[in-house]
Amino acid sequence: MKCAGGCPINFVMEHNNYEILRMIQLGEKDKVYQSNTPWLCVGCKTCAVRCPNGIDTSKVMDTIKMETIAENKIPASHYNVKLFYELFLDSMKGFPVIGGEGRGYELGLMGLYKLCTGTYLADMNLGKEMTKRGKMPFLPHNALKRRKGEVKKIFQRAKEKKAR
Amino acid sequence: MKLGYYPGCSLHSTAAEYNMATEAVFNALGLELDELPEWNCCGATAGHSTDKFLALALPLRNLVIAEAEQQKELVLPCAACYNLVKGADHYCREGTPEARDANEELKSIMGSAYNGTVHVTHPLEVIMRKEYISKVGAQVKKPLSGLKLAPYYGCLLTRPTYVAFDDVEQPQAMDQLMKLAGADVKRWSYKTDCCGGSLTVPRTDVVYEITKNLVTAAQRAGADAIVTACPLCQMTLETRQKEIQKPIPVFFFTELLGISFAHPEAKKWMKKHIINPIPLLTSLQLL
């Protein structure tokens, strides 16, 4: 299997990507939801370009992640990955008072992630070095001026579509 | 010539040196980068992993703006942004139902939809065009002699096939460009392996393992440094070299081009690196 053979993360994955596809075919939903494989998939598309059947497995992994979240079946051990995704997108919606709609806000994201996970000391030194070199701005990028609210509306529509 | 430019969040923060070097090199080649006004984050992994609509609408919004600004070409130096925006462009041209839906929503939010007229590109692809690559040779004033490099493409620059401007399994663009700048380019087997960037915060343990393998392989191939074309690869490789006895610097390809052009600002870019590349460069009398 060239797809799984080339996967750079397979050394920590509980199941290879083709095994996940087989589980889906067999309707073993819960086994798929429990697997750490989708949450470790980095979406590098090695499998996608190698698949002789034209299946983009990393896209399948994205869909599994979405369904696991929607059905609220995400195992605690994968929670941090989901949390990081959520906070990343939240940081694009902007913050009260300091703003920052539309773009990622590295410092805010890292601060919130640390607060939520209690990993205060991890990467502390790195953060300091980045700030020293001007690579971690204190304030979010306030970019949307004439087009304020557009990105917020995109997120609003996404929420409405999910509720349907 | 003027080109539309989408720096992406990281070129305004964690990869500030990539922004400066890319602009400097493009200017030296007679190209002007015109930043897209009021662009938004492409959503990166978080977007496409959690929401099908966001995965398309966030990158598409930028293409709508590019079209309104009459930019025929949009250059994206971040491989992740490039991949997502190019993907959104591809799905619009294909006319998939999801892309049509996202476009309709954007029309009601922004007043216009994307018509598929922008050429989405990466700085590496632009420089490799005949008209610019011919200028590179003439600009090289300080060949990168003795600099042993492992060119690292990572994942999102060459995959999937609809974003590829180079071979998906054995890309060559950066190899050729660095050779042209005078560097000693090494062959190695990991040039398109993913760095694990999107897991660098929530699963640092896994990423340490990946970068250890990558950096060790580059060193085994005889490289003293890695050269990338993606801000996420660069950051991951530079900040996660744990357990490596002698950590090696990770450059952006435009930085090295800038050094070979003897650009006066090059030292400033080097000071922004987490793994200090200055000793290596001064030992080779390149800085």
Q: DSSP letters of B124-193?
A: HHHHTSHHHHHHHHHH-SS--TT-EEEEE--STTT-SGGG-SS-SSS--HHHHHHHHTT-EEPP-S-TTS
* Shared-domain flag, residues B160 and B276: yes
Residues 214-233 of B with CB under 8 A from A: none
Structural domain count, chain B: 2
CA-based Rg of chain A, rounded to a whole angstrom? 19
- Measured between beta carbons, which residues in chain A are less than 8 angstroms from residue B198? 42-43
The pLDDT assigned to B143 comes to 98
Note down the domain range covering B230: 138-283
Please check whether residue A80 touches B, CB under 8 A: yes
CA triple A41-B210-A78, angle to 5 deg: 40
Residue A126 has pLDDT above 90, yes or no: yes
Do B188 and B98 share a structural domain? no
Of all residues in chain A, the percent with pLDDT exceeding 90 is: 87
- pLDDT of A1 reads 83
Instruction: Let me know if residue B24 belongs to a domain.
Output: no
Residues B106 and B224 occupy one common structural domain: no
Cβ atoms < 10 Å from Cβ of B243: 11
- Orientation angle between helical segments A57-70 and A17-25, nearest 10 degrees: 60
Question: Quick one: B143 and B229 in the same domain?
Answer: yes
Q: Which of B63, B89, B121 is the last residue of a domain?
A: B121
- In percent, the amount of chain A with pLDDT more than 70 equals 100
- B274 and B150 both lie in a single domain: yes
Record: contact A49-B239, CB cut-off 8 A:
no
Decide which of B78, B94, B121 is a domain's last residue. B121
B167 and B264 inside one domain? yes
Q: How near does any CA of chain A get to the CA of B138, in Å?
A: 33
For the ranges A135-144, B73-82, B247-256, which has the lowest average pLDDT?
Answer: A135-144
Evaluate whether residue B173 is within a structural domain.
Answer: yes
Residues B155 and B279 in one domain: yes
| CB contact (8 A) between residue B51 and residue A162 | yes
Model confidence over B235-266: pLDDT tens digits? Answer: 999 999 988 999 999 999 999 999 999 999 99
Is B74 inside a domain boundary? yes
Q: Which residue of B has its CA nearest to A145?
A: B38
Residues B114 and B169 in one domain: no
Q: Do A150 and B44 touch (CB under 8 A)?
A: no
Dist. CA B87–CA B45, nearest whole Å: 13
Residue A111 burial (CB count, 10 A): 15
Asked if residue B165 and residue B242 are part of one domain, the reply reads yes
pLDDT at B103: 97
Q: Each residue of B114-133: pLDDT tens digit?
A: 999 999 999 999 999 999 99
Q: What is the pLDDT of residue A25?
A: 97
Question: Is residue B185 located within the same domain as residue B150?
Answer: yes
Mean pLDDT of all residues in chain B?
97
Q: Which of B58, B93, B121 is the last residue of a domain?
A: B121
Name the phi and psi angles at B126, rounded to 5. Answer: -65, -50
**DSSP letter for each residue of B50-113:** H-HHHHHHHHHHHHHHHHHTT-SEEE--SHHHHHHHHHHHHHHHHT-HHHHHHHHHHHHHHS--
R_g of chain B, CA atoms, integer Å: 19
- B278 and B180 within one domain: yes
Within a domain: B2: no
The β-bridge partners of B152 are B228
Tell me the CATH number at B146.
3.40.50.11810
What residues have CB less than 8 Å from A148, skipping those under 6 apart? A101
Burial class (CB in 10 A: 0-12, 13-18, 19+), B137: exposed
Residue A95 has pLDDT above 90, yes or no: no
Quick one: pLDDT at residue A73?
95
B193: in domain: yes
Whether B166 and B58 map to the same domain: the answer is no
Q: Measured at the alpha carbon of residue B36, what is the angle toward residues B35 and B42, in degrees to the nearest 5?
A: 115
Question: Which residue of A lies nearest to B13 if distances are taken between CA atoms?
Answer: A135
How many other C-beta atoms can be found within 10 angstroms of the C-beta atom of residue A29? 15
The phi, psi pair for B75, rounded to 5°, reads -100, 125
- Portion 139-158 of A in contact with B at CB < 8 A: 141, 143-147, 150-151, 153-155, 157-158
The terminus-to-terminus CA distance of chain A in angstroms comes to 38
Residue B90 has pLDDT above 90, yes or no: yes
B185 found inside a domain: yes
- Chain A residues lying within 8 Å of B273, measured CB to CB: 133
Using the Cβ of B284 and the Cβ atoms of chain A, whether some distance falls under 8 Å is answered with: no
Tokens of B203: 């699963």
Q: What is the pLDDT of residues B168-193, one digit of tens each?
A: 999 999 999 999 999 999 999 999 99
The CA-to-CA distance between both ends of chain B, in Å, stands at: 30
Total-model pTM: 0.96
Arithmetic mean of pLDDT, A118-124:
90
Q: Whole-angstrom Cα distance, residue B4 to residue B50? A: 29
CB contact under 8 A, B202 and A80: yes
Q: Is B225 contained in some domain?
A: yes
pLDDT at A164 over 90: no
Q: What pLDDT sits at residue B243?
A: 87
B19 domain-assigned? no
Burial of B216 (0-12, 13-18, 19+ CB in 10 A): middle
Angle between helix B173-180 and helix B253-260 axes, rounded to 10 deg? 20
Half-sphere exposure of B26 (CA within 13 A, CB side): 23
